[in-house]
Structure 1
Amino acid sequence: MSDLNGGGRFGAALREILADTTAFARHQEANLRPETVAVLGERIRETGVKYIYYMIPTLGSRTVAKVVPAEHYERMLRKGIAFHRTALTDLQTSREGELIGGGVDAHEFWGLPEPETFQVLPWDQEVGRIFCTAYDPPHLGAGAGRLIPLDTRALFRVAHRAFTERTGLELRSGLEPEMTWTGPGMEVSCKDDQSPAYQVENLEKMRPVFKKVISYAQALDFAMIQGDYEDDGQLELNWDFDRAELTAERMTTYRQICKQVARELGLQASFMAKPYNGKMGNGCHHNLSLWRAGSGAAGTDDAENVIEDGRVELHVTDIARNAIAGMLLHTPGSMLVMGSTVNSYKRYWDAGQFAPSGADWGLDTRGVALRISANGRMEYRLPDASVNPYLSHLYLLAAIEHGIEAQLDPGEPGEPSDVLSDVAVPNTLGSAIEAFEADPYLMGAMPEELTRIFLQLKRDEWARYCGQISQWEFDQYWEAIP
């Protein structure tokens, strides 16, 4: 069995990857190959793009970028963008007035472009975007040139690649991002205790929204598949599943699309986890499957989904059971990622709104943390719409590998095994912070810098919340205490 405290093979591999001081140089060399420079230049000329966003997602699931005139693409391939290191932690200052993640004296990072990610923004075809990977600049001396672990997009990509090399398996996923739209024309009315979900009249109210969102998404290579109206102003639009790193990247892009559509229509679009009491929260269920690479010709996909084996009845395979046990065992330790805000936990307290609150699993039942809704798919229901999708996939991947490596048993639906019998899911951000630190496997599996700074951010958020006097408290106690 793997070293639990060291994060097993998962943690050992990540430590080795992050110690590589040649990472920047290799990326730069690949960028400057004549064919790479030529292909990007030709695409820019063909599309007529005049400006390019060079972008990196942050630890808090936002995106930072610089805009550069398109003709400078070759210079950008060489050096990329430079930001103060705390841009990766959303430039968040603690309550004590100190920048989290390095302070004012922290050095810059360099973000090298990934030219294959170049796309044209459909709402303004003179503007393109390219994702970048963050490195410690090579001029810093000892330890320079390494991948920065706070770049969660890059971190998940290298972790997933290493996972596949070790196991022969690839994680694929599809997300169900719910979100709330407000503004003129978005109002809905229905009878007491009646849900507005699925009604075509409510979809019609959202027609200007979903037409724009879907068309923009399709222009950015999303395979859009379906959508529905779920609660007051709540719209869920889905795209087809894919390799997990592509799914996470599309979630980042989807947020950008929705904010743009809201600007164009004079609306507000929010991914807040729980906007209203008595209404469903905005979840982001992760539908997961594991695929064993096939041996077909290049360009074909003859991979095998090892989560199902052809049986007709709803079921899971042995490897799926191991993966389920790993995810459920590490649910407490990963809840700080899956529910990353104070507001996230209000989603679990509002009874009757389909949000799970325990580390359990079942066959086609919506009250559990992990639902088998169809053969070949594991629906992990705890993340909400404010989640960092790179970080959620990273933690799920580590938990899955532990489950497979240790051959953990989840028990039967509704009857947890001994390994899961005492697992309790945190129900506040404060208790999630404690559970995060109390999981030796996940603490060992993840880079120390990532966990340390993520904890700083979340402790600061919890402290700010605990120090606020709410209207609820005023209403409860102003007159009630003699």
Structure 2
Amino acid sequence: MSELNTGGRFGAALRELLDDRSAFERHQDANLRPEVVAALGERIRETGVKYIYYMIPTLGSRTVAKVIPAHHYERLLKKGIAFHRTALTDLQTSREGELIGGGVAAHEFWALPDPETFQVLPWDPEVGRIFCTAYDPPQLGAEGGKLVPLDTRALFRAAHRGFTERTGFELRSGLEPEMTWTGEGIEVVAKQDASPAYQVENLEKMRPVFKKIISYAQALGFDMIQGDYEDDGQIELNWNYDRAELTSERMTTYRQICKQVARELGLQASFMAKPYNGKMGNGCHHNLSLWRVTEDGEENIVEDGRVELHVTDTARNAIGGMLLHTPGSMLVMANTVNSYKRFWDAGQFAPSGADWGFDTRGVAVRISANGRMEYRLPDASVNPYLSHLYLLAAIEHGIEAKIDPGDPGQPTPDIAAVRVPNTLGDAIQAFEADEYLMGAMPEELTRIFLQLKRDDWGRYCGLITQWEFDQYWEAIP
């Protein structure tokens, strides 16, 4: 089998990682070190937390959790928390009545806490949260003790460690999550064909929203840096870039913050990709950089000190990998039926092709500043761990194979031949057709993800809409 079919070094490393039966035991041993147990206990006592959410992100960008009285922390560091395996697939039942991800007979997984992630929820200081990592229970014999491939948070963290070991680089990212708010008092009045973006009056209407979000985010360790008003009810608030796994974790937390603020203010908040025609969709641009970290310091290898807008040869190869695998990763970056409406609505700043350029907003990869590659295809409903995982695989392939994207406006033949899917159905086909990415990712992950997305597409294709009645009810004779 060729390296293309097996996902190269990236795929080989993930397969080895997922075959490690000692993973649970090593995590458990680390949790039970006396200094770890003492430190978590002290944090719980000094903060006054009485209840803890033991949380894990799902394949579909949600978060599942159990709430447990805080004083049980030491027992849980050892044993973990049991969840039905289909919790990682959002307990979604298919149109045929099958519980996707193993059915009702699927065994439980054990979620071991990651104690360093303990934080206090700023809107209720009696409640804390800890992220967990999912394992198959050790009692399952040959399959027990292994990392569950559907735990995208744990999978990306492990994949990133391997990427750094092989390449010497770490991936850092900053996200631009847009979202739409509706409710009394924040309605926008604008001139016809004029955008409400950036207007201070619209920011003022959203002042109660952004004040609470920024305050809660800062309390949870975010370095909030800026925000703006973009379209009707749409705001974007940004935090500083960091290692990609930390950025992904903050995106998961940011969604929880926004939903909490909406509850407190009697508003609705949505990360739906395209709520309205004629208005901008909710994107989630990924601003990426590659860093070489040594004892002597750290270096962003996407830029090399030149003043003019540019990218280095390594960055060009990374861009080449991202563009070449754009079709195969679109099912991840734009993972809902509604996601593709964002690309069909012309003139709304959403990219429509696998191309790149300097400081232009119509491309898939935009170089708006030296040292940063802005990947513009993901929308606000994206699973950030999964998007970074697929980008990491594409970047490594680009660097390893020295894939040349060509110059802006002058793509190489391989990149020029790339066609970006424009429906969820097309994206499903492109996902399966990318031999490298299919070989790079765990079989269970791709199989279950495909089942979820095929079910979404089938439900949509079978739904009769008002538009169809309007178009065809009286169309003949």
Take 1:364 and 1:141, find their aligned partners in 2: how far apart are those partners?
A: 54
Which position in structure 1 is the counterpart of 2:38?
A: 38
- Distance in 1 (CA, whole Å) between partners of 2:53 and 2:188 is 37
Corresponding residue for residue 199 of structure 1? 199
Partners of 1:418 and 1:22 lie apart in 2 by: 46
> Partner of 2:230: helix, strand, or coil?
strand
Q: CA deviation at 1:51?
A: 0.2
CA distance in 2, matches of 1:473, 1:190: 31
> 1:335-350 maps to which residues of 2 (within 5 A)?
335-350=330-345
What does 1:388-407 correspond to in 2, within 5 Å? 388-407=383-402
Aligned to 1:173: 173
Task: Give CA deviations for 1:336-357 in whole Å, capped at 9, x if unaligned.
Answer: 0000000000000000000001
Q: Distance in 1 between matches of 2:186 and 2:438?
A: 44
Aligned to 2:447: 452
Give the superposed CA RMSD: 0.8
Sequence identity, in percent?
A: 85
Aligned equivalents of 1:228, 1:116: Cα separation in 2? 32
Match of 1:377 in 2: 372
Question: What's the CA shift string for 1:330-383, capped at 9, x where partnerless?
Answer: 000000000000000000000000000100000000000000000000000000
How much does 1:270 deviate? 0.1
Partner of 2:354: 359
* Cα shift at 1:480: 1.4
Aligned to 2:426: 431
* 1:315 matches 2:310: yes
Distance in 1 between the 2:316 and 2:233 partners? 37
Residue 96 of structure 1 aligns with which residue?
A: 96
Matching residue of 1:70? 70
Task: Tell me how far apart the structure 2 counterparts of residues 459 and 116 of structure 1 sit (CA, whole Å).
Answer: 37
Aligned to 1:269: 269
1:470 aligns with 2:465: yes
Letter in 2 for 1:432: A
Distance 2:62 2:428 in 1: 21
| Residues in 2 aligned to 1:381 and 1:118: alpha-carbon distance in whole angstroms | 32
SS in 1 for 2:321: helix
Q: Aligned residue for 1:184?
A: 184
Partner amino acid, structure 2, of 1:156: F
User: What is aligned with 1:228?
Assistant: 228
Alpha-carbon deviation of 1:294?
1.9
Residue 120 of structure 1: aligned partner: 120
- Structure 2: distance between partners of 1:419 and 1:143: 41
* Whole-angstrom distance in 1 between the partners of 2:212 and 2:469: 43
Looking at structure 2, the residues matched to 295 and 322 of structure 1 have their Cα atoms a distance apart, in angstroms, of: 26
Aligned partner of 2:230: which letter?
E
Letter in 1 for 2:421: P
Q: Which letter does structure 1 place at the counterpart of 2:45?
A: R
Alignment correspondent of 2:58: 58
What is the match of residue 211 of structure 1?
Answer: 211
How far apart in 2 are the matches of 1:161 and 1:474?
A: 53
Q: Could you tell me which residue of structure 1 aligns to residue 329 of structure 2?
A: 334
Q: Note the C-alpha offset of 1:186.
A: 1.3
Q: SS where residue 368 of structure 2 aligns?
A: strand
Whole-angstrom CA distance in 1 between matches of 2:237 and 2:186:
17
Query: How far did 1:481 drift?
Result: 2.3
Q: Residues 259-292 of structure 1, C-alpha deviation per residue, up to 9 Å, x if partnerless?
A: 0000000000000000000000000000000000
Q: Quick one: distance in 2 between partners of 1:79 and 1:391?
A: 27
Q: State the shift of 1:79 in Å.
A: 1.0
Residue 125 of structure 1 aligns to a residue whose secondary structure is coil
* Higher deviation after alignment, 472-481 or 192-201: 472-481
Q: Which amino acid aligns with 2:332?
A: V
Aligned partners of 2:286 and 2:441: how far apart in 1?
20
3-state SS, counterpart of residue 293 of structure 1: strand
Question: What one-letter code is carried by the residue in structure 2 that aligns with 1:150?
Answer: L
Q: Matched residue pairs, number?
A: 477
Q: CA deviation at 1:158?
A: 0.1
Following TM superposition, by how much is the alpha carbon of 1:145 offset from its aligned partner in structure 2, in angstroms? Answer: 0.1
Q: Give the whole-Å Cα distance in 1 for the aligned partners of 2:365 and 2:145.
A: 40
Q: Distance in 1 between matches of 2:79 and 2:369?
A: 47
Instruction: Give the distance between the partners of 1:85 and 1:161, measured in 2 at CA.
Output: 26
Residue 299 of structure 1 is matched in structure 2 by none
Aligned AA (1:395)? Y
CA distance in 2, matches of 1:140, 1:325: 42
Deviation at 1:141, TM superposition (A): 1.1
Q: Distance in 2 between matches of 1:309 and 1:419?
A: 27
Counterpart Cα distance in 2 of 1:294 and 1:136? 36
The Cα of 1:126 is off from its aligned counterpart by 0.2
What is the distance in 2 between the residues matched to 1:33 and 1:213? 36
Q: What secondary structure is seen at the aligned counterpart in 2 of 1:269? A: strand
Residue in 1 that maps onto 2:155: 155
Query: Offset at 1:418?
Result: 1.7
Amino acid at match of 1:379: E
TM-score relative to the length of structure 1:
0.98
Corresponding residue number in structure 2 for 1:387: 382
Match of 2:413 in 1: 418
Aligned with 2:55: secondary structure? strand
Moved more, 247-256 or 417-426: 417-426
2: CA distance, partners of 1:156 / 1:195: 38
CA distance in 2: counterparts of 1:419 and 1:293, whole angstroms: 32
Please list every run of 5 or more consecutive structure 1 residues that lacks an aligned counterpart in the other structure.
297-301
In 1, the alpha carbon distance for the partners of 2:158 and 2:476 equals 57
- The equivalent of 2:243 in structure 1 is 243
Offset, 1:128 = 0.2
Q: In 1, Cα distance between the equivalents of 2:77 and 2:205?
A: 45
Question: How far apart, CA to CA, are the structure 1 residues paired with 2:453 and 2:419?
Answer: 20
Deviation at 1:93, TM superposition (A): 0.2
Aligned partners of 1:102, 1:477: CA distance in 2, in Å?
A: 41
Matched position secondary structure for 2:213: helix
Query: Which AA in structure 2 matches 1:448?
Result: E
Alignment match, 1:480: 475
The SS at the match of 1:229 is: strand
* Aligned with 1:324 (options 319, 326, 329): 319
